[in-house]
Amino acid sequence: MKDLIDERRGKILSVKDLPTLPPVLEEITKMIEDEHSTPKQIAEIISKDQVLSAKVLKMVNSPIYGFPRRINTIQHALVLLGFNVIRGIIISTSVFDVMTQSMVGLWEHSLACATTSKIIAEQTGLKDPEEFAVTGLLHDIGKVVVALQLPEEKQEIDKLVKNEDILYFNAEKKVLGFSHDRVNAWLAEHWNLPLNIKEGLTYHHNPRFAEFHPEFANVVHIADFICRVLELGSGGDSQLPLLQKKAILALGINFKKLANIMDKVLEDIIEIITFIPK
């Protein structure tokens, strides 16, 4: 089984060879790791790709981030949101570009989860809510990459979900030997994403295992649950995952605060489900 998992891991990580990830991303990643790089220099690189620039600007002006004034330049977006958020936006919009019809609803779910993650972070007084938003946006990226790199296995997963009416997460484990949270960890390492975002992506189904940034895993775990309860988009199945009580307690969320979060998400629901970058 280990050899099969290693083989599938190799296929998944060859995502760098797909046209979905723009060549500019590797250059941006190197510059972000260079402490001497400036937002202006990074913005100039992104701006060379006009299509990518348009997608990034559309996303930063979306209801997810909710800035009162329109952001018109990549440099301005970098200053407001930071390198990590912009890089996450580039990855998500690039990979989701090639979603197949069999995954209709996953992008909407991801957008909703991004917005809900930001709302939870704001309501619980966490710093940099935009980084929580981009973690929510990327939380199911492993599902997309598996569909692209392992299409036959993806069909088996869908069949198992339908026939046995089980969680997508559990169907992945039966078919692949691992689930999308493990894929998220591989991709986060491969793309050199920061540790806080990596932990949110890796442990959003099991936040108790997050060692360094449990708040990211807790927030996305709760956001994912809320979006499923409200049926915002689709995670690939019709089941409701268990909500871990420790995640709620760790963030100090009581019934009143949870109700406020749900109300805020519902207020934004129309904008959330109608904003679909193309």
- The pLDDT, as a whole number, for residue 221 is 98
- The pLDDT, as a whole number, for residue 100 is 63
- The pLDDT, as a whole number, for residue 26 is 77
- The pLDDT, as a whole number, for residue 18 is 45
Q: End-to-end CA distance of the chain, in Å?
A: 39
> Per-residue pLDDT for 251 more than 50?
yes
Take residue 155 and report the two structure tokens written for it.
């069909």
Take residue 67 and report the two structure tokens written for it.
């800035």
**Residue pLDDT, tens place only, 166-188:** 999 999 999 998 999 999 998 89
Sketch out the chain's domains with CATH numbers: 2-274 (1.10.3210.10)
Q: Is 39:78 a contact under the CB 8 Å cutoff?
A: yes
**Residue pLDDT, tens place only, 148-166:** 888 899 999 999 999 999 9
Q: What does the buried/exposed string (b/e) look like for 155-175 if buried means 16 or more CB atoms within 10 Å of the residue's CB?
A: eebbebbeeeebbbbbbbbeb
What confidence category does residue 25 fall into, taking pLDDT thresholds of 50, 70 and 90? confident
Chain mean position to CA 76: 23
- The pLDDT, as a whole number, for residue 276 is 60
CA distance 158 to 103: 10
What confidence category does residue 17 fall into, taking pLDDT thresholds of 50, 70 and 90? very low
Question: In which region does residue 125 sit, left (phi positive, over 0), alpha (psi from -120 to 50) or beta (all else)?
Answer: left
Cβ neighbours of residue 127 under 8 Å, at least 6 residues apart? none
Mean pLDDT across the chain, nearest whole number?
Answer: 88
CA distance 247 to 219: 8
> Per-residue pLDDT for 227 more than 50?
yes
pTM value is 0.91
**Residue pLDDT, tens place only, 47-90:** 888 888 998 999 999 889 888 889 999 999 999 999 899 989 98
278 or 101, higher pLDDT: 101
| DSSP per residue, 36-54 | T--HHHHHHHHHTSHHHHH
**Residue pLDDT, tens place only, 87-141:** 899 888 888 877 766 677 899 899 999 999 999 999 999 999 999 999 999 999 9
CA distance 176 to 156: 9
**CA-closest candidate to residue 81, choices 109, 52, 59, 108:** 59
- The pLDDT, as a whole number, for residue 102 is 62
CA distance 210 to 243: 16
